[in-house]
Amino acid sequence: MTPKATRIVLVIAAFIVGVALFFAASLLIGGRAGPPPVAAIGGPFTLVDQDGNTFTDAQMKGKPYLVFFGFTHCPDVCPTTLFEVSEVMRALGDDANRAGALFISVDPERDTPAALKDYLSSFDQRVRGLTGDPAAIEATEKAYRVYAKKVPTQDGDYTMDHTAIVYLMDKDGRFVRPFDLKRKPEDAAAELRRYL
Ligand code: NI
């Protein structure tokens, strides 16, 4: 495998191990008396959207939505995901206005609201781009159990390794399951529609 492929495999493996550990832990906790464990993935966040406005999880209340993490300098995975999510939004038609999709930057240093706005202009306008100060981004990554790491490149620049899972959240902001984009947009849209 190329070093890049190896890194991608490592990122995926780290995520799977994390989720497995979490479910194992919640089984242990669930076996005891007491309140059920709180939501596994997701949670409150306060970020800034591509128009420079404060954007919180409360603004998605009442809508099912997709959440995924990435960065505008991403060479392949992010643009592909954004394209596929845009296709789902298109397939949803007017129902897309009752749902949503959030692209959260793992690279707030370079992804200013203006950079996000420019980048997202090539995709469905219902995809909101979110960035914020590094601490707020880090807290959001933690809430979603996202792995993101800066990796220097040979030219002195850097790229980001990051989890490429797309999360399906219900209208109460609870994580449902990873969302499968590797199918017909109409089929993916039908799944999202069930949570409207
Ligand atoms: Ni990416």
Mean of pLDDT values over 96-124: 97
Greater pLDDT, 1 or 63: 63
The token pair at 100 is 């949503």
Q: Is the pLDDT of residue 117 over 50?
A: yes
Measured CA to CA, the distance from residue 134 to residue 104 in angstroms comes to 12
Measured CA to CA, the distance from residue 151 to residue 162 in angstroms comes to 10
Greater pLDDT, 24 or 113: 113
pLDDT of residue 84: 98
Domain spanning 46-193: which CATH class is it, in words?
alpha beta
Mean of pLDDT values over 27-40: 52
Q: What strands, in cross-sheet order, belong to the sheet with 175-178?
A: 54-56, 46-49, 127-131, 100-105, 65-70, 167-169, 175-178
Measured CA to CA, the distance from residue 101 to residue 69 in angstroms comes to 11
Measured CA to CA, the distance from residue 10 to residue 6 in angstroms comes to 6
Whole-number average pLDDT of the chain: 89
pLDDT of residue 27: 53
Measured CA to CA, the distance from residue 8 to residue 1 in angstroms comes to 10
Could you read off the pLDDT of 152-178 as tens digits, one per residue? 999 999 999 999 999 999 999 999 999
pLDDT of residue 40: 79
The radius of gyration of the chain from alpha carbons, rounded to an integer in Å, stands at: 17
pLDDT of residue 31: 47
Q: Where are the alpha helices (DSSP H) in the chain?
A: 3-31, 77-92, 113-120, 134-143, 185-193
pLDDT of residue 12: 58
Q: Which of 80, 104, 83, 87 is nearest to 169 (CA)?
A: 104
Contact indicator for 86, 127 with CB cutoff of 8 Å? yes
Could you read off the pLDDT of 34-74 as tens digits, one per residue? 554 555 799 999 999 999 999 999 999 999 999 999 999 99
Q: Is the pLDDT of residue 78 over 60?
A: yes
Quote the ligand 1 centre to 78 CA distance (angstroms).
4
Q: With bands split at pLDDT 50, 70 and 90, how would you rate the model's confidence at 5?
A: low
pLDDT of residue 90: 97
Quote the ligand 1 centre to 27 CA distance (angstroms).
32
Quote the ligand 1 centre to 73 CA distance (angstroms).
8
Quote the ligand 1 centre to 163 CA distance (angstroms).
8
> pTM of the prediction?
0.81
Contact indicator for 195, 92 with CB cutoff of 8 Å? no
Q: Is 159 exposed, middle or buried (0-12, 13-18, 19+ CB in 10 A)?
A: middle
Quote the ligand 1 centre to 13 CA distance (angstroms).
16
Q: With bands split at pLDDT 50, 70 and 90, how would you rate the model's confidence at 10?
A: low
Return residues with CB closer than 5 A to ligand 1 (ion).
70, 74, 77-78
Greater pLDDT, 29 or 88: 88
Quote the ligand 1 centre to 105 CA distance (angstroms).
9
Per-domain boundaries in the chain: 1-37, 46-193
Mean of pLDDT values over 6-30: 58
Quote the ligand 1 centre to 77 CA distance (angstroms).
5
Quote the ligand 1 centre to 194 CA distance (angstroms).
28
Q: Give the whole-number percent of the chain exceeding pLDDT 70.
A: 80
Quote the ligand 1 centre to 71 CA distance (angstroms).
6
